[in-house]
Structure formats: structure tokens, C-alpha cells
């Protein structure tokens, strides 16, 4: 009985999720509140944003478009593929992974990540 309880705890409770319009695609589960993550015009956001959840993966981070594949990968595995060509505040570029930690998106640098500036 315990394994079933554990699997129920990690699954999406449909009765407690906000109503989604037909055709809305679920990209994953919000790491902060457990509701579905859906696509919005500017990001991949928790469907419970109206109830106060602040989770979002922006579609553009440091000048790079974040693909649906990398957004899903972060939600499922906690880290994106290596993304090349982020733009730093000083104008240089760098390569990095995006890491999902405590509901926030962070850069994770490889030893070869910095290119110029």
C-alpha cells in the first residue's frame, strides 16, 4: 500500500488543478505547487499563477530563446541541454546549462562555457 501512496503523492491531482481551456498543452508539473505548467506568450508558467504561484521559465533568457524541449527537460530532469550563445551583461557570450533548483532557473557553467568577454 505504501508504494501506491507515494505514487499518488507525486502525481497530478486533477480535482485540485485550475481549469484549463481545451487544447492547452501541459508541459510538466510546477516544482513549487504541483499544478500543471503551460505555455504562455512569454514563457512556460504555472497554471496556478492567478492563485499566486510565481513559477515561470521565460522563453528568452540572456538573449537566447529557450526551446520547448529544454523547458520540458528542466521540468522532468532538473537541467537543460547545453545552450550555446547566451549574452552576458558585459556583451560577451557564454555557454551554460539551465538548472532548475528550488523553483528558480539558474545557470550551470561547464568548464568550457565561457567564450569571450
Assigned domain for 6 exists? no
The Cα–Cα gap between 35 and 18 comes to: 8
Cα→Cα distances 14→17, 20, 32, Å: 5, 11, 16
Assigned domain for 10 exists? no
Coil/strand/helix, residue 102: coil
Length reported for the chain: 117
Confidence bin at 25 (pLDDT 50/70/90) = confident
Q: What's the domain range around 29?
A: 24-116
In this prediction, residue 112 carries a pLDDT of 56
CA proximity to 90, closest of 60, 62, 61:
62
Q: How many domains does the chain have?
A: 1
Assigned domain for 60 exists? yes
Assigned domain for 12 exists? no
Assigned domain for 15 exists? no
DSSP single-letter state for residue 86: E
pLDDT in tens, 30-60: 999 999 999 999 999 999 988 999 999 999 9
Counting residues of the chain whose pLDDT is more than 90, the rounded percentage is 65
Amino acid at each position: 500500500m505504501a508504494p501506491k501512496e507515494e505514487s499518488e503523492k507525486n502525481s497530478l491531482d486533477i480535482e485540485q488543478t485550475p481549469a484549463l481551456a481545451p487544447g492547452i498543452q501541459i508541459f510538466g508539473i510546477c516544482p513549487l505547487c504541483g499544478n500543471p505548467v503551460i505555455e504562455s506568450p512569454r514563457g512556460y508558467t504555472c497554471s496556478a499563477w492567478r492563485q499566486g504561484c510565481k513559477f515561470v521559465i521565460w522563453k528568452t533568457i540572456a538573449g537566447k530563446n529557450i526551446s520547448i524541449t529544454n523547458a520540458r527537460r528542466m521540468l522532468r530532469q532538473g537541467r537543460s541541454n547545453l545552450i550555446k550563445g547566451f549574452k552576458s551583461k558585459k556583451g560577451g557570450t557564454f555557454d551554460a546549462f539551465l538548472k532548475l533548483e528550488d523553483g528558480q532557473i539558474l545557470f550551470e557553467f561547464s568548464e568550457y562555457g565561457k567564450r569571450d568577454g
